[in-house]
Structure 1
Amino acid sequence: MTIRWRTSSATSSQVWYGTSPSNLNFTTTVNGSRTDHEVKVSGLPAGTTFYYAVGNTSSQLTAPDNEHYFKTSPAPGTAVPTSIWVLGDAGKANAAQRSVRDAFYAYNGGQHADLILALGDNAYSDGTDQEYQDAWFENMYEGTLINSVLWPCPGNHDIISANSQNETGPYYDIFTLPRNGEAGGAPSGTEAYYSFDYGNIHFVSLNSEDIDHGPNSPMLAWLEQDLAANTQLWVVAILHRVIYHSSILSDFRQNFVPVLEAGGVDLVMYGHQHSYRRSYLIDGHYGSGNGSFDPNTMAIDAGDGRPDGDGAYQKPGTLTPHAGTVYMVSGSAGPVSSLPSPITFMPYEAGDPEGLGSVHISVFGGQMDVKFINYEMQMLDHFTINKQIAIGSPPTVSVTAPANGTNYSSPQAVALAANASDNGGSVTQVEFFVNNSSVGVDNQAPYSINFTPPADGTYNITAVATDNDDNTTTSQVVQFTVGPVTTCVRINAGSDDAEERPTGSVNFTSGDLELVIDGDPDGQTVGLRFNDLNIPQGANIASAHLQFTVDENTNDNPCTLTISGQASDNAAAFGTQNFSISSLPRANATASWTPSDWLAVGDAGFAQQSPNIGPIIQEIVNRPGFSASSSIALIIEGIGRRTAEAYEGGASVAPELCIEWSMAPIAFDCPNIPANIGTPCDDGDNTTLNDMVGANCICAGTPTACTGIGDADGDGV
């Protein structure tokens, strides 16, 4: 494991590490003075978590804590739950990039990503050192990079200040990449392209920029050698330039794609285009566009690849050449643009604005799940690839409890339950996972276990069903939260941020929002309508605020704003008739805001954040007719002016509403268990069926005719 950091003064380099943050009993030291520190810690066991601190031979610069840790790669070939975050063209260092980051963190519940893949254009516009600091290490991903390993490839903006022939420039100065096969794979002899293994996944990072792509190129010869030696079940390749729909990479399609597909590659990801799109499961397409694609011979599976749609893509259970590949463009983790012309075999796509986002990949055993999560925390696309040696039909499984999105006010026992069945066979067990860690197994229906969350946070549940032929199926993720939850949503339509002039006319199309003077000294009334909050009726609102982004730094003072809320169970879209906003019925609670001056265009900090409007939101969600699908409308009036971005000025900088909330403690029928009467359970007796909590708050099942004999053959009956 290589650990890197930077200091303002030149010092020696030292890393303290150990298996507990309270016992960092090992050290590795590099003598000599430097400001860019690089320490390689070697001889560590596979798949082990180590906590660490960095500093010099005189003192530690970071205090040991639970966040400074690294986990060594699992042993090659080991099937372990693996979480991968993919960021394409993420080097903008802007509010849009942060919105993608925050949406992924919220969607993923702040859970650890084992790997981060960066698809090039990691630092705009010239790949300078300062641009890397701004885009990755300062106020961006630093909280994640202290415990997740980053694996990049270069893009065209990176190599403006770097040279791959002699491996110089900020890209090569900042990243330490395997040139000698030290992370698995064949030695490439260069950091310009490389490979590595993580468990049963083989990753290949290619250089699409300033390296020869010809048929006799060293990179192609290395790739053939690397894939020929690979024994891992999964193969994932990354590069920057778009393979399809680009004349620049015609030689890459003709020379490299056949080698990748012969090597059994499952997924190829690249950026460059600032949008999202991906293909069917295809093979053998080495032309550039629609005309050369033959669906009869090149589409291995022309379905959507979704378990809840046409079905997951199926591939053989061993590494197999030409069994199908999904090609994906994901270059919108910082910028987003309109979609280029359509490609028939890449029908799943998203451009400006909804296509601003990143990709999450989870791999466990023979299943790979891929999701595109946009800046509004929406999953716009997903697909699954299954690799199983099928004997009979695989089982089906779904998590039935708790319901997705359930919130518990504090840590408590939670009943996890699943339905599982097998057509033509039998389910032998259901194993439950929380945040990719196994928390229990049940081998008898109804399948359930109790799990007590250790602390407040977000928990992702999956259930893995195994049948009598050892086929396995993993359920879709169900998420629940413990403790306060923060929900942030932005205005997501031009009609939902509106300005009502003093004359009563309503404008829906302005690129900015004047709060509240816009020429007329009487000021205007601004309406903001927020959708997709997913907050239950009666939730406890701890706090709430509005967040704006500066459009103009012209400040008219004094400026005092009053924020109120529409008294509605479900706020409808604003009307076009005169005075349609100011005439709305109001909740009783209001909030007064005297904002400080807004100094710089693009700022979206504390100065642009309203005071707490929690009482307004509380009054609305307490309404009997409010539901999780309800919309909330807020109204701003007052004097003076601050000018904010509107939705038309950019979806990623539109006004945002953030609400911290939790549910009241649940009252269980049987608080000592805790559970409700009728809840499925396991009484520990294999000779009973249909176990559940009875009226006496005791878990018991229905005795069978075999009571007293026991489960001699261990089949659960």
Structure 2
Amino acid sequence: MLLVSRTAEAELERFEHSTRNGGDGSVSFIVVGDWGRRGAFNQSLVAFQMGRIGETIDIDFVVSTGDNFYDNGLTGENDTAFEDSFTNVYTARSLQKQWYSVLGNHDYRGDAEAQVSPFLRKIDTRWLCLRSFIVNAEIVELFFVDTTPFVDMYFINTENHTYDWRVVTPRKVYTENLLKDIETAVKESTAIWKIVVGHHAIRSIGHHGDTEELVQRLLPILQANGVDFYMNGHDHCLEHISDTKSPIQFLTSGAGSKAWRGDVKGLNRGGLKFFYDGQGFMSVQLTQTESAIVFYDVSGNVLHRWDVSKQLHPAI
């Protein structure tokens, strides 16, 4: 059951997610991004394998890293793309869990308010998409960040696309307040694992590369406050890059449908652990002391695995 509350310190909506794993504190979930194409471009095949892996590892929920509906988001609350690209595609039994989603830049090209509307939850109760929010799942807290308003190009180059900035403007105030809220939340978090989720990459060797606005403004907050993983989409690939200045691992899962072979900026990057220019998704399994990150291709084959142990400090 989801319990919603507001904190006095921040405007971030907070959700408590109770896991089903017998109280042992373990949490499992799948991460997928850049998917909403009415099943086309292998979206349905990726969804099938997500369902298979989801059942194998007994997932608690699904995380979507944005660009949920192509090419231009939803036209409104009654847009059939919602059911055609979400409800009717992710039909596996294991995927009938809560979905936590952020907005991507393509989502902002449509009616962004429609995607975050409670009305969509009446159509499909799995759907929960907000601009920025926190999910507390026992041993892990996930901090979902609305990254699109940080990116200068969407405000400078508007010749080809329009964006739904109704809640975002004035932009400077919006992004500054969001950064303050996120900094407060991650600093005060007592979770064993801290994960930040956004649409845009902080580090990537894919088509879009690093998002410099996030490197300058968000990354220092994550480095200073013990964040373990930053997970994103945007680049239509799968990749894993280690931070060179902190333990943070940058994990891109933006291969839920359309992808481009060879769309890479260079494989000689420091900290690069894995890159795959095809379709697929990622799974995450956490216990109090261990984490396992696994990347899968469109056929469900394991492409890369990353295991991390965490030493717990005894309570004083």
* Deviations 1:65-84, CA, capped at 9 Å, x for gaps: xxxxxx96159xx7512111
Q: Is the 8 A contact 1:371 1:379 kept in 2?
A: yes
Partner letter of residue 227 of structure 1? V
Give the C-alpha shift of residue 390 in structure 1.
9.3
Identify which of 141, 145, 149 aligns with 1:206: 145
Identify which of 127, 137, 161 aligns with 2:87: 137
- Answering whether residue 37 of structure 2 is matched by residue 92 of structure 1, we say yes
Distance of aligned partners of 1:340 and 1:149 in 2 relative to their CA distance in 1, 3 Å threshold: same
Q: TM-score if structure 2 supplies the norm length?
A: 0.74
- Answering whether residue 264 of structure 2 is matched by residue 340 of structure 1, we say yes
Partner of 1:36 in structure 2?
none
Identify which of 19, 22, 26 aligns with 1:81: 26
Partner of 1:157 in structure 2?
106
Q: Is the 8 A contact 2:296 2:302 kept in 1?
A: yes
Partner Cα distance (1:390, 1:265) in 2:
16
Partner letter of residue 99 of structure 1? L
Q: Is the 8 A contact 1:276 1:329 kept in 2?
A: yes
- Answering whether residue 308 of structure 2 is matched by residue 358 of structure 1, we say no
Distance of aligned partners of 1:247 and 1:381 in 2 relative to their CA distance in 1, 3 Å threshold: closer
Partner of 1:710 in structure 2?
none
Q: Which has the larger radius of gyration?
A: 1
Q: Is the 8 A contact 1:93 1:140 kept in 2?
A: no
Q: Is the 8 A contact 1:213 1:219 kept in 2?
A: no
Instruction: Kindly indicate whether structure 1 or structure 2 has the higher relative contact order, using CA contacts under 8 Å at least 6 residues apart.
Output: 2
- Answering whether residue 186 of structure 2 is matched by residue 227 of structure 1, we say yes
SS of corresponding position for 1:278: strand
Identify which of 50, 54, 64 aligns with 1:118: 64
Partner letter of residue 103 of structure 1? Q
Partner of 2:302 in structure 1?
379
Partner Cα distance (2:114, 2:259) in 1:
27
Partner of 2:213 in structure 1?
251
* Deviations 1:45-66, CA, capped at 9 Å, x for gaps: xxxxxxxxxxxxxxxxxxxxxx
Partner Cα distance (1:142, 1:171) in 2:
24
Q: Which runs of 4+ in 1 moved over 6 A?
A: 213-216
Partner Cα distance (1:228, 1:72) in 2:
20
* Gaps in structure 1 of 5+ consecutive residues: 3-39, 43-70, 177-189, 284-297, 299-321, 392-717
Aligned sequence identity (%): 19
Identify which of 177, 196, 205 aligns with 1:218: 177
Partner letter of residue 373 of structure 1? Y
SS of corresponding position for 1:157: helix
Distance of aligned partners of 1:271 and 1:390 in 2 relative to their CA distance in 1, 3 Å threshold: same
Higher fraction of strand: 1
Partner of 1:530 in structure 2?
none
Partner letter of residue 257 of structure 1? L
What CA RMSD, in Å, does the superposition of the two structures yield over aligned residues? 3.0
Give the C-alpha shift of residue 102 in structure 1.
1.6
Q: Is the 8 A contact 2:237 2:252 kept in 1?
A: yes
- Answering whether residue 188 of structure 2 is matched by residue 238 of structure 1, we say no
Q: Is the 8 A contact 1:213 1:220 kept in 2?
A: no
Q: Is the 8 A contact 2:102 2:130 kept in 1?
A: no
Give the C-alpha shift of residue 139 in structure 1.
3.8
* Deviations 1:340-392, CA, capped at 9 Å, x for gaps: 212332241111xxx2111011011110100001111210011011102599x
Distance of aligned partners of 1:138 and 1:247 in 2 relative to their CA distance in 1, 3 Å threshold: closer
Partner of 2:156 in structure 1?
none
Distance of aligned partners of 1:214 and 1:368 in 2 relative to their CA distance in 1, 3 Å threshold: farther
Number of residue pairs aligned between Structure 1 and Structure 2: 264
Give the C-alpha shift of residue 171 in structure 1.
3.8
Q: Is the 8 A contact 1:161 1:170 kept in 2?
A: no
Partner Cα distance (1:122, 1:111) in 2:
24
* Mapping for residues 184-333 of structure 1, pairs under 5 Å: 191-210=130-149, 211=168, 212=171, 217-245=176-204, 246=208, 249-280=211-242, 282-283=243-244, 298=245, 322=246, 324-333=247-256
Q: Is the 8 A contact 2:237 2:279 kept in 1?
A: yes
Partner of 2:159 in structure 1?
none
* Gaps in structure 2 of 5+ consecutive residues: 6-15, 122-128, 150-167
Partner letter of residue 201 of structure 1? V
Give the C-alpha shift of residue 247 in structure 1.
7.5
**229-238 vs 136-145, which moves further:** 136-145
Distance of aligned partners of 1:214 and 1:350 in 2 relative to their CA distance in 1, 3 Å threshold: farther
Give the C-alpha shift of residue 157 in structure 1.
1.4
* Mapping for residues 40-51 of structure 1, pairs under 5 Å: none
* Deviations 1:491-521, CA, capped at 9 Å, x for gaps: xxxxxxxxxxxxxxxxxxxxxxxxxxxxxxx
Partner Cα distance (1:341, 1:93) in 2:
29
Partner letter of residue 107 of structure 2? D
Q: Is the 8 A contact 1:88 1:121 kept in 2?
A: yes
SS of corresponding position for 1:344: coil
Partner Cα distance (1:332, 1:247) in 2:
15
Partner Cα distance (1:100, 1:255) in 2:
33
Partner Cα distance (1:216, 1:155) in 2:
15
Distance of aligned partners of 1:250 and 1:225 in 2 relative to their CA distance in 1, 3 Å threshold: same
Q: TM-score if structure 1 supplies the norm length?
A: 0.34
Q: Is the 8 A contact 1:89 1:272 kept in 2?
A: yes
Partner Cα distance (1:206, 1:216) in 2:
10
Partner of 1:127 in structure 2?
73
Partner Cα distance (1:142, 1:223) in 2:
34
Distance of aligned partners of 1:247 and 1:217 in 2 relative to their CA distance in 1, 3 Å threshold: farther
* Deviations 1:250-278, CA, capped at 9 Å, x for gaps: 22211111101212111111111111111
